[in-house]
Amino acid sequence: MKNKLKAAYNPDAFRENGHRMIDLLVDYLEEVRHGTQKVMDWKEPDEQYEFWKNYNPGHNDPVAFLKDVIEKSIHIHNPRYMGHQVSAPAPVTALADMVSALLNNGMAIYEMGPVSSALEKWIIGQFAGRLGFGKNGDGLLTSGGTLGMLTALLAARQVKGGGNIWEEGNPGNLAVLIPEESHYSVERAARIMGFGSKGIIKIPADENYRMQTSVLESYLDKAHKEGKKVIAVTANACSTATGTYDNLNEIGSFCRKHDLWFHVDGAHGGAAIFSEKYKHLLDGIHLADSVTIDLHKMLMTPALATALIFRNKSDSYATFNQQARYLLNETSEEQWYDYAKRTMECTKVMISVKFYALVHTYDFEIFDQNVTTLYDLAKTFAETVKNRPAFELAVEPESNIVCFRILAENEMKNNKLNSAIRQRLLEEGDFYIVQTVLKGEVFLRVTIMNPLTEERYFKELLDKIEMVAKTFELT
């Protein structure tokens, strides 16, 4: 064997590097969890690129390289990380991911992923049961909420679009009703499917950023008069910007009445199904035809990992092969185990293994604890904001997403001030939060993703924002 290949496949080298790597990661977790370090050592993109372009530590040690990767990354496990909606993964999931990476079972067909296929079926069954779909529910795991949304809408088109779209293509008049406050992946999916602007009908939000269900009938009526064929309605559970839950009972009933596909985008907030305290937010989800839930957001799993669950088993097989719909009846399962027939992916990572490792070790109760803790923390944060006169809360939080802003004291406009503060926080790295625009106004946005984030950090964050605001107002 050639020397490089011999070295690359040497189990002893792997053992040695593996032990060093685990020690490094344990030290990292110990250090980062106390929030004494920066969340990120911010570098402009070009500067970051220069560093890696010229990267030459002078040795071939993979652990040294990975140490540099850790140092220069954003630290999601830092309790001062309160930014975008990705989980601080439970460490056991990283062990499972390492095994998956090494085994690299490609999953397209059963024999290329026997374990992960079986675990995937079991996991989907667990979700289906909790969503109220009973034994007839089915679905799959896929790489992200965006892909999950596209897959769900493709199924909707196949089932409600009429004709033989798979063979003949789009008739050109298909449309979906979506909340004004949708994540951009909904619109993107509809555009990929060729619906164009005319096929994306946005239902306005009320003052709490919730879909106005009272106008659904009139919007549908108007679409029909314009010759459009509406196939589906999507709902947020919860929305990305403010974390608001749409009224799933009302939207679901509307869909039933008009024979429309009902998709619930639960990428972020669908995980509340596991929380005894907050699952009421998802009342009506049993009416959905399909639901997406990201495991890599609220369910402590590393990206990418999304569950797409269908109420009717047969719909799960409809997406990429309309023939299967006619071959299957409601109860039979044809080749559940060859997942490539039902997913966008051909080769697929063993998503089920990392999620199952978590469930196997801590049971589903861990998700109740995580979701409930994070949603409770957001309420505490909102109270802290309300108790400080310099700040304004955009809307009472329903989930772990909170939008707020500091009010400008001088002529400097609120939008400019809050954007400048967010940029300064990014550059200084003590906290990581993001910003969003609500009804044309810039708000700072916090998503509490890490159960190690404690109340004291909220006060520190608001103190910091006030301090930064003063520096801007002096200049």
Ligand X SMILES: Cc1ncc(COP(=O)(O)O)c(C=O)c1O
Question: Where does this chain bind ligand X (CB under 6 A)?
Answer: 85, 144-146, 183, 185, 236, 240, 265, 267-268, 294, 306
Q: Which residues contact 97 (CB under 8 A, 6 or more apart)?
A: 302, 353, 354
| Half-sphere CA count of 442, side-chain side, radius 13 A | 16
The residue (of 165 and 350) whose beta carbon lies closer to ligand X is: 350
Helix (H) or strand (E) holding 105: none
Q: How far is the CB of 184 from ligand X (least distance, A)?
A: 8
> For residues 237, 238, 244 and 247, what is the CA-based torsion angle, rounded to 10 degrees?
-10
The residue (of 128 and 298) whose beta carbon lies closer to ligand X is: 298
The residue (of 408 and 438) whose beta carbon lies closer to ligand X is: 438
The residue (of 79 and 144) whose beta carbon lies closer to ligand X is: 144
First vs last C-alpha separation in the chain: 67
Instruction: Give the orientation angle of helix 62-72 with respect to helix 11-32, to 10 degrees.
Output: 20
Q: How far is the CB of 11 from ligand X (least distance, A)?
A: 35
The residue (of 240 and 343) whose beta carbon lies closer to ligand X is: 240
The residue (of 35 and 148) whose beta carbon lies closer to ligand X is: 148
Q: How far is the CB of 323 from ligand X (least distance, A)?
A: 29
Q: How far is the CB of 189 from ligand X (least distance, A)?
A: 10
Question: Where are the strands (E) in 191-335, listed by range?
Answer: 200-203, 229-236, 261-265, 290-294, 306-310
CB 340, CB 109: distance < 8 Å: yes
The residue (of 145 and 199) whose beta carbon lies closer to ligand X is: 145
| CA–CA dist 410, 355 (Å, integer) | 50
| CA–CA dist 28, 24 (Å, integer) | 6
Q: How far is the CB of 69 from ligand X (least distance, A)?
A: 22
In 161-247, alpha helices (H) = 165-168, 184-192, 216-225
The residue (of 97 and 384) whose beta carbon lies closer to ligand X is: 97
Helix (H) or strand (E) holding 442: strand 441-447
Q: How far is the CB of 266 from ligand X (least distance, A)?
A: 8
Residues 260-293 as b or e (16 or more Cβ within 10 Å = b):
bbbbbbbbbbbbbbbbeebbebbebbbbbbbbbb
Dihedral of CA 454/459/463/468: which sign? positive
The residue (of 306 and 316) whose beta carbon lies closer to ligand X is: 306
Instruction: Give the orientation angle of helix 248-258 with respect to helix 216-225, to 10 degrees.
Output: 30
Dihedral of CA 165/168/170/171: which sign? negative
Q: How far is the CB of 25 from ligand X (least distance, A)?
A: 24
In the complex, which residue's CB is closest to ligand X?
Answer: 145
CB 190, CB 199: distance < 8 Å: yes
The residue (of 121 and 296) whose beta carbon lies closer to ligand X is: 296
Supply 273's token pair: 């199904």
Q: How far is the CB of 295 from ligand X (least distance, A)?
A: 9
Q: How far is the CB of 17 from ligand X (least distance, A)?
A: 31
User: Position of tokens 């290329």?
Assistant: 112
